[in-house]
Amino acid sequence: MSHMTNPLATPDQLFQRRSFGALPLELQDAIFFATQCLTQAAGLLLQLPQSVAAQANVLLARYWLVESIMAHEFSDVSAAILYLTAKCSPHPRSPRDLSNIYAYLLSPSSSFFPREPPPSPEPNPNKNNPSTYYVPEPAYQTFHARLLALEARVLHALSFDTHVALPHPLAVTYLQALDFLHVAPRERIGKKVVQYLNAALLSPQMLYLTSQPAALAVAAIYNAARDVGAKMPECEWWEVFDVEREELGFLVVGMRSVEGWGRRIAWRGVGMGLGVRLKA
């Protein structure tokens, strides 16, 4: 069963993370959120499976349990961990590909980070301007050196343990066991489950580091069934999957709060735009 479980964070590790550096906790959470979103966007542009990007998100959270969030430029950490995760999968990507993708995502031409609108109705000269994300050879060599150095540091910090068990396959199995894939809103409930599991990767509560995949899958199913109006068993069905009521309640609330928290962070100007200000 070891391949279906993950090493979980201890209370001491979670407390230590909060005490890293002098940054306010809200700013640390915003950096975490923005970096996780950046990793997902890079995985999408690199045409990596969602499983690889999700594993990179989990490894990034583990790494920041033992390393200060401000020890390195956050986009470099994202690139190094995504590079490492892809290399350990059947879908490796070259450093050159990562250099180009991250240069684009962090450029003024990218729509990933929101920016202030231009003061006049004149077109933005940086929009879709390849010169803003062109990577010359010296810049690529510098990025490559940072990438390899950070990859080694991440491996050392994680004690070379890069195993990540995701809850997505378990969720499909549980949906079949509960006969949720044969009810009327079967397409919607499956999609909702995946949405909740992917959103949980961005949670500042680090749900993937405090609960096992089985509990995450059950909580996602519970939320999705409520959203689409699917009838759930009247018994305490989550106990069949070895999930306690208290843990389920915590995860249900945690997953449902991610969207609102992310919108609030972005609305206050802290979320995505943070990356541009930190690099300036």
**Burial tier of 76 (Cβ tally within 10 Å: 0-12, 13-18, 19+):** middle
At 103 the pLDDT is 94
Residue 16 CB coordination number (10 Å): 13
User: Rounded to an integer, what distance in angstroms lies between the CA atom of residue 274 and that of residue 37?
Assistant: 12
pLDDT along the chain (280 residues), means of 10: 81 74 79 92 96 97 90 94 96 96 90 60 64 90 97 95 95 88 67 94 93 96 90 89 94 93 66 39
CATH, domain 168-263, list 1.10.472, 1.10.1220, 3.30.450, 2.50.20: 1.10.472
At 81 the pLDDT is 97
Amino acid at 216: L
Chain centroid to Cα 132, Å, comes to 26
At 276 the pLDDT is 36
For the chain, the distance separating the N- and C-terminal CA atoms, rounded to the nearest angstrom, is 46
Residues of the chain with CATH 1.10.472.10: 25-164
Contact 100, 47 (CB under 8 A): no
At 27 the pLDDT is 84
Q: Where are the alpha helices (DSSP H) in the chain?
A: 11-19, 25-45, 50-66, 74-87, 95-105, 137-157, 168-177, 186-200, 207-210, 213-228, 245-267, 274-279
At 278 the pLDDT is 37
The answer as to CATH 1.10.472.10 being correct for domain 25-164 is yes
